[in-house]
């Protein structure tokens, strides 16, 4: 069953709709996630320690990379508490739980995820496929943070590298990244960078531009309040931290998203999205739009005083 879910082919949805509520599934699921994680790390270690000058390198490198892909895909399809998932299931972004423990009950340390951070950083040069990158990002979300002190900057750099909208099955990577940051922020941890940084502002702006052009799913609707929360981090930045023009451009994009969401309410309901979720999303977008307008007015007033 899990093997079928891992395949990049369309399978009968009934095969992944079955729910498992027994403790045996929970235990088996946790073991599969842990074993897949360890298998991926072992394959990466073999790949990383390989003498590329060796005559067998060209034969085994594809094998090790395939082993890593298989391990990550195995991990991801077990990302739901009570069922198996397709690896391109958008529910994994919001509801997936890939946390695991050692056989003795210990939680893994951040250092144990270093290999995944290195794998993503190295993939920038070797470019395998978007699916594997998406799987690796999901696996790293179980770390509940931004990694060990020695790898944190590398992880952030890898995240910023995905600062574009990229199709990974049904995954929108830029949208996912903000979810990662929202999870970190909502857990009470500080983000290790300032929201005034240009890369962060670009990620936020690109995500709103994506919301303007893509067809919304229920997962996108559910995620909008999180996107709004993270966007508001820029509103509290110092006057000199974020250019005035950025707020003006963003307000125009948010306005378009607001108009779209108001115009397409009936269609969203017809597609099975709950009215309560739509109302929450609309309210959060409207609130952000109003606040952006206030910030722009304040900035303009300050500029007029400065020029006087």
CB atoms within 10 A of CB 219: 19
Q: Can you give the pLDDT at residue 177?
A: 66
The whole-number pLDDT of residue 165 equals 41
Q: Is pLDDT at 273 greater than 90 in this prediction?
A: no
Q: What is the pLDDT of residue 308?
A: 67
| pTM of the predicted protein model | 0.61
Mean predicted lDDT score pLDDT of the chain? 76
pLDDT at 191: 62
Are the beta carbons of 106 and 46 closer than 8 angstroms? no
The tens digit of pLDDT for each residue in 64-113 reads 888 998 999 888 888 877 777 777 676 676 667 888 889 999 989 889 99
The residue that leads in pLDDT, 26 or 109, is 109
Closest alpha carbon to 268 in 215, 230, 198, 229: 215
Phi, psi (rounded to 5 degrees) for 171: -85, 135
Query: Residue 2: what pLDDT?
Result: 42
Give residue 146's pLDDT band: very low, low, confident or very high (50, 70, 90).
low
Indicate if the pLDDT at residue 46 is higher than 70.
yes
Answer yes or no: is pLDDT of 8 > 50.
no
Cα dihedral 215, 221, 227, 228 sign: positive
């Amino acid at each position: 069953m899990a093997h079928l879910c891992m395949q990049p082919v369309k399978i009968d949805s009934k095969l992944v709709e079955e729910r498992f509520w027994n403790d045996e599934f929970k235990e088996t699921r946790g073991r599969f996630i842990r074993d897949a994680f360890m298998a991926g790390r072992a394959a990466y270690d073999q790949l990383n320690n390989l003498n590329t000058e060796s005559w067998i390198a060209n034969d085994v490198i594809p094998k090790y990379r395939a082993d890593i892909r298989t391990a990550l895909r195995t991990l991801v399809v077990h990302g739901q508490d009570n069922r198996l998932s397709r690896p391109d299931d958008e529910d994994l972004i919001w509801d997936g739980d890939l946390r695991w423990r050692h056989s003795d009950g210990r939680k893994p340390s951040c250092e144990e995820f270093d290999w995944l951070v290195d794998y993503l950083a190295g993939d920038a040069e070797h470019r395998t496929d978007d699916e594997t990158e998406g799987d690796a990002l999901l696996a790293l979300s179980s770390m509940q943070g931004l990694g060990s002190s020695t790898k944190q900057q590398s992880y952030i750099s890898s995240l910023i590298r995905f600062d574009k909208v990229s199709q990974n099955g049904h995954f929108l990577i830029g949208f996912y990244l903000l979810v990662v940051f929202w999870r970190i922020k909502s857990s009470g941890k500080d983000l290790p960078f300032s929201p005034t940084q240009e890369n962060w502002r670009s990620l936020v702006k690109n995500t709103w531009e994506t919301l303007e052009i893509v067809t919304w799913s229920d997962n996108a609707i559910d995620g909008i309040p999180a996107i709004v929360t993270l966007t508001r981090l820029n509103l509290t930045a110092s006057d000199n931290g974020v250019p005035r023009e950025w707020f003006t451009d963003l307000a125009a994009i948010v306005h378009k998203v607001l108009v779209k969401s108001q115009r397409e309410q009936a269609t969203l309901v017809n597609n099975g999205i709950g009215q309560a979720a739509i109302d929450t999303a609309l309210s959060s977008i409207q609130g952000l739009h109003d606040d952006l307008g206030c910030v722009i007015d304040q900035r303009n007033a300050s500029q007029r005083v400065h020029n006087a």
